[in-house]
Structure 1
Amino acid sequence: MTDLDELSRLIRADAQSRGQTISRLGYFCAPFRPDSGPLSDRVIKVYRGMGDAAALDRLKRCHDDYVEALLAGGVPMPATEFHFVDLGGARVPVVVQEALPVDSLMRPRMQKEPLASTLEMMEAAGQVIARFWLWARDQEGRIGFHPSIRNFAVIEGQAVFFDTFPPLIHYSRGEMGKMLLTFSDKRLMRIIGPLMQKRVTGIQDEWYSPPETLVGLVGSACRLRPDDAEAYLAWGRDFVTREMAHWSDEALAGLQAPPKLPGYWTGFRKLLGLQGEPNV
């Protein structure tokens, strides 16, 4: 179990003494890993607090349920805990997660390794996607999954997923749309987002669609390595036919050409400076 006193101390510490910031470009937070101490083998993700105690309690319940659901759906994950830390009288949500080797993160590996190796990683990630959705098909209630390239590591041929926030379970579409604004780490998004709530809400739709999550994975690969786009499209078409046949018609329709991000989300990303770095 996490030493909560040490966790609180680290979060309160000056940024220079916290340790290494793993990513500065996340939508919800900038995770960091302590350089030393009992939590040096963990990545710490601190999210925005909110004044609604009941909503925070629900958030914890949903996060716990979501981690349990991902594991039940056969999604390999590092050890993950959810805690609240008191900062200036506010309860702040914190996710503490077992750190993965930096050289295992899928996105940078996809950028630098040979095509054959990247196709093996795509297969590993695809197997996780297919396995989860085949399990989720028999579950009740609304549940989603955000298996983008930046949310995976690949270790010894196995794709490991590490993005559990926001918890894509139990919340309605409208509620999740509001969460995308409430917990955004980008002040600009919180200011302008309510003016475009309908479009912000639409960001999540891919996460709740089995074929679109696979198409999204292929789209990310095509954008990372446009010269190899045809190889990724061919892999995607073959994969959905043999592993996700239940959704193959819809997925194949999205894999005739390199998939593109919706225009409004591309605009949001440019506005917020989000470049798709690993969301560790």
Structure 2
Amino acid sequence: MTDTETPLDLAALETLIRSDSASRGEPISKLGYFCAPFRPANGPFSDKVIKVYRGLADPAALDRLHQCHDDYVQALKGAAVPMPDTQFLLLSMEGTRIPVIVQQALPASSMMRPQMQNGDLPETLKLMESAGQVIARFWHWAEQAPMRIGFHPSIRNFAVLDGEAIFFDTFPPLIHYSRDEMGKMLLQFSEKRLMRWVGPFLQTKVTGIQDEWYSPAETLVGMVGSACRLRPEHAAAYLDWGRDFVGREMKPWAEEALAGLDRPPKLPGYWTGFRKVLGLQGEPNV
């Protein structure tokens, strides 16, 4: 997690992206909402995760996306959120510019979700405490931020390595965009053609997906809810942890958070429906 960006061989990266899956390696996850990230099996990018997104016809919108992503990474660093080295590029390919994120790969064994699935109760509570500290740190920093900024600290967007929670999901960049603009982005960049086709008819509901990401209380409640769904046998302990944590570390938002922690939190019905239609079952998206 250094701040030094290593120059990338863009020609080699373009060749890698154009190559078939046999050459570049199978996707790490095929269930991502915006793309299916992959880690090459060999070559100069074998220690990187590559995330390739849909292009846009509007050059100004792409330039803005690039700037917002750079600003978001800097904001996360300013909030002392641990992150792998992350670079955003606009590659000129086939007559258009394609957004690409190149990120330092993390060990598969460090992903928080499988650790939550396989650990015993004390181990999983330590994982949640590590992630919770990052959530609290971000929102206390964001209280002083002049811009609209959000955070999506779901279990599947964290790794935990040597006791430290590491956040790695920087797309879409949750900074500067208005609520309506972000709602449209959720459709524009969706990898799922079905979502882009039916989404405009449900724009109000799609736009609402983001609201949790801009609420300090709901980001914490959302993580607790995910833990309860992953390990329902430990739900009571996770709720107890959440109530204790907001009292210790997130006092400005404790009242709102406590209201969502009186029972295992559930996903909104419309988002559950979208996930089932799109085949998104919460697998890691790194």
Q: TM-score range by the shorter chain?
A: over 0.9
The aligned counterpart of 2:180 is 174
Which of 202, 212, 237 is matched with 2:208 structurally? Answer: 202
The aligned counterpart of 2:4 is none
What is the correspondence of 1:177-196 to structure 2 with a 5 Å cutoff?
177-196=183-202
What is the correspondence of 1:1-280 to structure 2 with a 5 Å cutoff?
1-280=7-286
**Letter in structure 1 aligned against 2:74:** E
1:141 is paired with a residue whose SS is: coil
Root mean square deviation of aligned Cα: 0.6
| Dislocated runs of 4+, deviation >3 Å | none
Count of aligned residue pairs for this structure pair: 280
Displacement of 1:86? 2.1
Displacement of 1:2? 1.6
**Letter in structure 2 aligned against 1:212:** E
Q: Distance in 2 between matches of 1:9 and 1:82?
A: 17
Q: 5+ unaligned residues in a row in structure 2: which ranges?
A: 1-6
Displacement of 1:87? 2.3
**Letter in structure 1 aligned against 2:167:** F
Q: Distance in 2 between matches of 1:220 and 1:115?
A: 15
1:251 is paired with a residue whose SS is: helix
**Letter in structure 1 aligned against 2:139:** W
**Letter in structure 1 aligned against 2:99:** P
Q: Deviations over 1:74-129 (max 9, x none)?
A: 10000000001222111000000000000000001100111110000000000000
The aligned counterpart of 2:3 is none
| TM-score (ref. length: structure 2) | 0.97
Q: 5+ unaligned residues in a row in structure 1: which ranges?
A: none
Q: Distance in 2 between matches of 1:59 and 1:99?
A: 23
**Letter in structure 2 aligned against 1:28:** F
Q: Distance in 2 between matches of 1:90 and 1:50?
A: 8
| TM-score (ref. length: structure 1) | 0.99
Aligned residues with identical type, % of pairs? 70
Displacement of 1:224? 0.4
Displacement of 1:265? 0.2
